[in-house]
């Protein structure tokens, strides 16, 4: 039996994200990603402006006038959600934790996918694989994905993006669109990401919180690393400490962005407490422009 409070959370997220898909993302997802190929549909008479390369010379010779081949995009895609559920995701200072933000992002992407008759799958990982749901279609399946994200209690607290990408390549042989949803607080993931991106179309959805970039001035503060459980006492009243913290965060962000660019992986950056639908829409628009170019 599924607890009633969990069902209510699932339903609440489904309703909220469905409205976002209808109001903000309508059509954007469909335009952003290519189908698996072009499939022949029919021939019709040539019209001014048609690409001469599509002329069907056999049919044209038979009827004594030019005919062109019409193709349609084979649309069905597979979308894999690779979700970081490590200890650092259970953190937030702006209205929500990062893992709550992640659940809404994944629900929005899932609903966008099934509205286009695509399949959706889920891999949850920490320093191990925590959950795997094979890709399927349908609204009931999406509800299962959302429920898993909300109910999962990870066994691990660390982050191993490389191993998760290796698992992806093992279970998903067919080329897929992969949304890697993580704060990227890990090392040595660049090479595995490069390898996986050759087989799949990977998009990094990087989540973070403002407090990870700027410390508040509140005097002595005890900070616990949620992934290692190490405790540190920091004097946030010190201007030097706050500047050093901000500088280290900026350097870490630059390093992540540079690594993603070297891996040829697109990035969507989303912070807790901020509307994320607009960031998704802007990304879809960029993808659409790149696709048309």
Which CATH number fits the domain that encloses residue 275?
Answer: 3.40.50.410
Q: Which of 88, 129, 126, 96 is nearest to 252 (CA)?
A: 88
Same structural domain for residues 47 and 165?
no
Give the per-residue pLDDT at 155: 93
Count of other CB atoms within 10 angstroms of residue 62: 10
Same structural domain for residues 182 and 154?
yes
Model confidence at 73, in pLDDT bands (50, 70, 90)? low
Task: Look up tokens 């001035």; give the residue.
Answer: 217
- Predicted confidence (pLDDT) per residue in 113-154, tens digit: 988 889 999 999 999 999 999 999 998 999 999 999 989 999
Taking the model in full, what pTM does it have? 0.82
Mean pLDDT of the chain: 87
Model confidence at 94, in pLDDT bands (50, 70, 90)? low
Same structural domain for residues 43 and 81?
no
Same structural domain for residues 17 and 140?
yes
- Predicted confidence (pLDDT) per residue in 4-40, tens digit: 777 787 888 888 888 878 776 767 787 777 655 555 6
Same structural domain for residues 112 and 251?
yes
**Domain count within the chain:** 2
Q: Where are the beta strands (DSSP E) in 99-244?
A: 119-125, 129-136, 177-182, 201-208, 220-224, 231-235
What's the length of the chain? 293
Model confidence at 83, in pLDDT bands (50, 70, 90)? very high
Q: What b-and-e string marks burial along 161-173, b requiring 16 or more CB atoms within 10 Å of the CB?
A: bbbbbebbeeebe
- Predicted confidence (pLDDT) per residue in 158-198, tens digit: 999 999 999 999 999 989 999 999 999 899 999 999 999 99
Same structural domain for residues 98 and 235?
yes
Question: Which residues form the domain of 204?
Answer: 4-31+77-292
Same structural domain for residues 65 and 151?
no
Same structural domain for residues 85 and 208?
yes
Residue 218 has pLDDT above 60, yes or no: yes
């Amino acid at each position: 039996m599924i607890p009633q409070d969990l069902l209510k959370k699932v339903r609440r997220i489904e309703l909220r994200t469905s409205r976002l898909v209808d109001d903000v993302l309508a059509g954007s997802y469909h335009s952003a990603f290519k189908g698996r190929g072009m499939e022949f549909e029919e021939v019709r008479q040539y019209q001014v402006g048609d690409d001469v390369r599509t002329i069907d010379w056999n049919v044209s010779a038979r009827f004594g006038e030019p005919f062109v081949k019409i193709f349609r995009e084979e649309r069905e895609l597979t979308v894999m959600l690779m979700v970081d559920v490590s200890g650092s995701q259970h953190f937030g200072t702006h209205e929500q934790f990062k893992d709550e933000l992640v659940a809404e992002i994944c629900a929005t992407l899932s609903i966008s996918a099934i509205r286009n008759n695509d399949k959706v799958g889920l891999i949850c990982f920490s320093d191990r694989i925590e959950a795997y749901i094979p890709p399927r279609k349908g609204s009931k399946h999406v509800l299962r994905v959302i429920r898993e994200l909300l109910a999962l209690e990870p066994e691990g607290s660390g982050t191993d993006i490389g191993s998760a990408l290796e698992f992806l390549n093992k279970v998903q042989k067919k080329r897929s669109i992969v949304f890697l949803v993580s704060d990227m607080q890990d090392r040595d993931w660049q090479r595995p990401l490069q390898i996986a991106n050759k087989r799949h179309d990977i998009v990094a959805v990087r989540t973070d919180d403002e407090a990870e970039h700027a410390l508040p001035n509140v005097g002595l503060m005890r900070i616990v690393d949620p992934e290692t459980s190490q405790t540190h006492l920091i004097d946030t009243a010190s201007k030097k400490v706050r500047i050093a913290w901000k500088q280290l965060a900026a350097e870490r962000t630059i390093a992540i962005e540079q690594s993603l660019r070297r891996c040829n992986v697109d990035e969507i950056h989303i912070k807790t407490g901020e509307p994320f639908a607009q960031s998704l829409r802007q990304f879809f628009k960029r993808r659409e422009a790149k696709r048309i170019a």
